[in-house]
Amino acid sequence: MLYQQIARNKRKTYVVFAIFFALLGLIGWVVGKLFFNNALSGIVIALAITLFYAFTIYFQSTSVVMQMNRAQPIKNVEQAPDLWHIVEDLSLVAHVPQPDIYIIDDPSPNAFATGRDPQHAAVAVTSGLYQLMDREELEGVLGHEISHIRNYDIRVSTISVALSSAIIFISSMLGNMYRWGWLFGGGGNNDRDNSRNGNILQIVLYIVGLLFAIIGPIIATIVRLAISRNREYLADASGVELTRNPQGLINALKKLEQVTQPMQHVDDASAALYITDPQKGKHSLQQLFDTHPPLADRIQRLERM
């Protein structure tokens, strides 16, 4: 089961790439037709921006994601001895290289893992989590996160963050170009045939372009939903396998369930990486687009173990 999930996560990487490069190509086609009267130009621009984001975040995922979330590295064991030793021990049990360790100065308890593979991985915990959890509970949380590393969940997550960031940027750019094109007559479409069919096509393109500009953040959320909820259940089970102590993670999740304080600074593109919703349902439609199963369901599954 575990190794099948790892293989599925690796294949999912390429599926996510293919689907969303195609989607971004479509957005680029609309941009090209609207503002350059050349679909190919828009496609090239959209894919170039996406490639830049994808390769930058993929090959520098740890530093980029940590900067996005204002995390600071733990460089030696003296800075956080309990945290350091727990990560060191669990990495040995999981047979993965010890990931880099980061602290986020935030009172809301949370944690996440990131990286492109186990050889280039990192874990981060908030200062609130480090202070709230006892050693047993901290082991449960870190076992969960190191399981994400061992299961290659972090690769899919990293690519989702990259594509999400690219879509948000392109949507913002499209919105600005739309306003500019509307004011200045379509940005290069002045020579378009004024026939009825040409006018209808232009109106349709403007509507589609406006829709893409508006729903870009929603599309970005759908990218994050490419990360299956099942990976959280799997990481919970895998984490218990590492610690041999389900009660540690159960107690940790129960404490997290009681927290209502959102994190102070959360990057939207990487919010899905955290062990629990860092925004604490700030959005009215949060549950509709939630990438994590409810904590109560996760606790029940662990209690049955």
For residue 205, CA distances in Å to 34, 35, 165, 237, 302 come to 7, 10, 24, 48, 51
Of the candidates 137, 139, 145, 232, the residue annotated as catalytic is 145
241 catalytic, yes or no?
A: no
Residue whose structure tokens are 């969303």:
20
Please, what is the Cα angle at 201 between 200 and 205, to 5 degrees?
A: 120
Q: What DSSP line would sit under the chain, residue for residue?
A: -HHHHHHHHHHHHHHHHHHHHHHHHHHHHHHIIIIIS-HHHHHHHHHHHHHHHHHHHHHTHHHHHHHHTTEEE--STTTSHHHHHHHHHHHHHHTSPPPEEEEE--SS--EEEEESSGGGEEEEEEHHHHHHS-HHHHHHHHHHHHHHHHTTHHHHHHHHHHHHHHHHHHHHHHHHHHHHHHHTTSSS-TTS--SHHHHHHHHHHHHHHHHHHHHHHHHHHHHHTTS-THHHHHHHHHHHHHHS-HHHHHHHHHHHHH--PPPSS--GGGGGGBSS-TTTT-STTGGGG-SS--HHHHHHHHHH-
Q: What is the C-alpha separation between 295 and 305, in angstroms, rounded?
A: 16
Q: What is the C-alpha separation between 103 and 269, in angstroms, rounded?
A: 19
Active site residues: 145
